[in-house]
Amino acid sequence: MAKSKPRVKAPKKASKGDIVTIKTLISHIMETGLRKNKKTGKIIPRRIINKFQAKFEGTEIFSVDLDPAISANPFFQFSMKAEKSGEFEFIWTDDNGEVYSKKSKLTVS
């Protein structure tokens, strides 16, 4: 798949004190940098998502440094205690400098 497309599944509503589960998936080739092009013999340059961050109201709640051994289309699932309403921001950083992001709102009652 040519362009990376993030998908996020986060609850829109929660009660105060609830543990909410957040799931994220992004399409990405996660090229390790160890494979060779079969025809030319040249190494295919590494291109992975090297960092994933999840923020809530600007504060980091979850982050991962990714390495080449991680499969294509990385999936993350994590949880958070819902204390107040606010906005999630999910950020994926690509080796080529591109940054993919997605936002999602949570209303706590």
Partner 1 sequence: MKGTAKIKALSALFAVTMLSATSITYMQTVKAEDGLKDDGLPNGISKVMVKPATNDGPLDEIFSGWHFRSKETKNLQKDDFENPGYLWVEQGEELWATKDGSEGKSCKSCHNDAAKTMKGVGAEMPKWNAKLKRPLTLEQRINTCRTESMGAKEWKWESSQMLSMTAFVRNLSRGMPMNVQADGPMKPWVEKGKKIYYTRVGQLNMSCSNCHEDNYGKYIRADHLSQGQSNGFPTYRLKWQKLGSLHRRFKGCMKNIRATPYKPGSDEFVALEIYLSQRGKGLEIETPAVRN
Residues within the interface to partner 1 (CB under 8 A): 1-2, 5, 7, 9, 23, 25, 27, 29-30, 71-73, 75
Q: Which is nearer to partner 1, 23 or 105 (CB)?
A: 23
Q: Which is nearer to partner 1, 1 or 19 (CB)?
A: 1
Q: How far is CA 23 from CA 39, 65, 87, 104, in A?
A: 39, 17, 15, 12
**Least distance (Å) from partner 1 to the CB of residue 87?**
20
**Least distance (Å) from partner 1 to the CB of residue 14?**
18
**Least distance (Å) from partner 1 to the CB of residue 39?**
17
Residues in Cβ contact with 46 at an 8 Å cutoff, skipping those fewer than 6 apart: 31, 32, 33, 34, 68, 95
